[in-house]
Amino acid sequence: MVFVLVGFVASIPAILGFSFAFYAATPKFRCKIPHFSNDTFEIQNQNHQTLVDKFIPILEEKSYTGIYEKCTIKSYINSSSNNFTLSKCNEWVFSKEYFESTLVTEWNLVCENLSKKNFYATLFFIGTYGFVLKGIIADKYLKQPPLVDSLRNEQDKMENNLLKIKNR
Whether 32 has a pLDDT exceeding 70, the answer reads yes
pLDDT at residue 133, rounded to an integer: 72
pLDDT at residue 149, rounded to an integer: 65
The Cα 6–Cα 90 span in angstroms is 48
**What confidence tens digit (pLDDT) does each residue in 102-151 have?**
888 888 888 888 888 888 878 777 776 666 677 777 777 766 566 666 66
Predicted TM-score of the model (pTM): 0.62
Is 117 in contact with 104 (CB distance < 8 Å)? yes
The Cα 101–Cα 151 span in angstroms is 54
Whether 161 has a pLDDT exceeding 80, the answer reads no
Is 70 in contact with 112 (CB distance < 8 Å)? no
Q: Name which of 21-30, 70-79, 102-111, 159-168 the model is least confident about.
A: 159-168
**What confidence tens digit (pLDDT) does each residue in 1-11 have?**
667 777 776 77
pLDDT at residue 138, rounded to an integer: 72
Contacts of 37 (CB under 8 A, 6+ apart): none
**What confidence tens digit (pLDDT) does each residue in 35-81 have?**
888 888 888 888 888 888 888 888 776 655 567 788 888 888 776 66
pLDDT at residue 62, rounded to an integer: 65
DSSP string computed for 109-148? -SGGGHHHHHHHHHHHHHHHHTHHHHHHHIIIIIIHHHHH
